Amino acid sequence: MENKNTWESYSAAQIRDTDRFSGEYMDFLNKGKTERECTDYFVDMAEKAGYTELSVAVEKGMKLKPGSKLYAVNMSKAVILFNIGKKPLSQGMNILGAHIDSPRLDIKQIPVYEDGGFALLDTHYYGGIKKYQWVTIPLAIHGVVVKKDGTIIELNIGEDEDDPVFFVSDILIHMAQEQMEKKASKAVEGEALDIIAANRPLIVKGGKKKSEEGSSEKDKVKAMLLDVLRKEYGIEEEDFISAELEVVPAGKAREAGFDRSMILAYGHDDKVCAYTSMRAMLDVKTPDRTSCCILVDKEEIGSVGATGMQSRFFENCVAEILNMTNKNYSELDLKRCLQKSAMLSSDVTSAFDPLYASCYDKKNAAFFGCGPAFSKFTGSRGKSGSNDANAEYIAHIRDIFDKDKVNFQTSELGKVDIGGGGTIAYILALYGMNVIDVGVPVLNMHAPWECVSKADVFETYRCYIAFLNRCTI
């Protein structure tokens, strides 16, 4: 069975729609490099589409009816949306679930130090990365610093043309004999991923060196960095203790290829599925079954923590909505609703790379331009840790997409003993609902710059709309 190339089936109008949609997606990528930024962007989209914050609706005693639209935010780093359907919640929901965190470097709580005439910021990498890919590229700092009085200082440094950028240094090739003999996993150590942040010593008028509290005479460059942070941003050294600062590749998403058919950017995993899920959610009017879109944090480190999929936030939100529709609501109603729901775990998969063909089972690989890829199972080494979707559900999904003429493909993430990975699918499957992974094929996954096909992005959006409108299982 051969995959169909989506571009070959598109009309001129569909190609224009694809380019327009891709341009809007690229705007989102440029403005949403962190979980907080994504959440703000999505909340703005939701409110413009007529969504009401769940806590406000509860406080006002809002009566829910088909077409009621609600959203809830979890600690500024995750958002859930509901579009109440015509059928009762007891018959379940159609759910899209993606994550908005991406691999990166996080600045530590005590990060500032001076060495060799440089002021550096100590980092801890987040998620699965090839550490050597993060050296010698322009980096930006995004995030928040929260002061003891509750003041929140938002930082976004390195994206504007007039901004400074940061970088991690690497040993020059002339002196890299020992480094070149190491395994790729050891060529750059995690503790060597500190970013260079300053190089000029602090000097006051008259040529006298300024003495900074907490800085020795030999830490003049560190003193300069702290002086800049204090004057330009109102940040003291101890404020890093209550900061969430993420180091990401600096620069905007770009069209790739002479034919402009691809998008090269940071964070396609999994912002490409988050954005397409969100757009599908907003573009569905009043569905038969209640639609739900879950956009969560922490997937790259196991979906843990208060903002990850393993938290009770999703469950609590559904309970609130059930209580608003049925004042005699019980926990059994919640369990029935979740068990009868269906979900597309909207997460990316690996695209076939001809330069590394030996890593793929070509018959079961996803290809650029052939639409969203369905992964019946994920996990690794004998499907360990996977959600393995049942055949009846897959057959129903196939029927939906054939009716809406959605081009799709199936995939596995690499050869049996080579590949593997995880998504949030298994967590939702714990409720007993039908779940399968469906997402955009990505080249260079987890690298600072990843690549996707515009056709796959647009076709995935169409796939999600079809699911929200038609899924009944």
Q: Which of 304, 110, 116 is nearest to 196 (CA)?
A: 116
| Cα-based angle 432, 435, 437 (whole degrees, multiple of 5) | 155
Residues in the chain with pLDDT values less than 50:
209-215
Pick the last residue of a domain from 222, 249, 276. 249
* Same domain for 324 and 336: yes
Residue 87 carries which side chain, given as an amino acid letter? K
For residue 348, give the CATH number of its domain.
3.40.630.10
The per-residue pLDDT for 214 is 47
Same domain, 146 and 231: yes
Domain count, the chain: 2
Do 53 and 147 lie in one domain? The reply is no
265: left (phi over 0), alpha (psi -120 to 50) or beta: beta
Domain assignment of residue 236, yes or no: yes
Residue 260 counted as domain residue: no
Residue 134: which CATH number? 2.30.250.10
Nearest to 248 by CA among 163, 184, 185, 167: 167
The first and second tokens of residue 41, run together, are: 């962007």
Classify residue 459: in a domain, yes or no: yes
128 and 110 inside one domain: yes
* Domain match, 355 and 445 both: yes
Is 348 a domain residue? Answer: yes
Q: Are 71 and 82 in contact (CB under 8 A)?
A: yes
Check: CB of residue 212 under 8 Å from CB of residue 234: no
Looking at residue 384, its pLDDT comes to 76
- Asked if residue 216 and residue 109 are part of one domain, the reply reads yes
Position 217 scores a pLDDT of 65
Residues 23, 172 share a domain? no
Distance CA 200, CA 187 (A): 29
Tell me which residue of 101, 100, 168 sits closest to 128, measured CA to CA. 101
Boundary-marking domain end, from 198, 218, 249: 249
**Residue ending a domain, choose from 202, 219, 249:** 249
Question: Looking at the domain assignment, is residue 255 inside a domain?
Answer: no
53 lies in some domain? yes
**294 CA to centre of own chain:** 12
Q: Indicate whether 179 belongs to any domain.
A: yes
- Indicate whether 239 and 342 sit together in one domain: no
- Cis status, amide bond into 399, omega within 30 of 0: no
Domain shared by 231 and 271, yes or no = no
Domain extent for 154:
104-249
Task: Indicate whether 93 and 135 sit together in one domain.
Answer: no
Dihedral Cα 130, 141, 154, 77, nearest 10 deg: -10
CA separation, residue 319 to residues 89, 304, 330, 472 (Å) = 11, 21, 9, 22
Q: Kindly state whether residues 181 and 288 are assigned to the same domain.
A: no
- Whether residue 79 is contained in a domain is answered as yes
Contact criterion met (CB below 8 Å) for 69 and 49? yes
Are both 413 and 466 inside the same structural domain?
A: yes
By CB atoms closer than 10 A (0-12, 13-18, 19+), residue 242 is middle
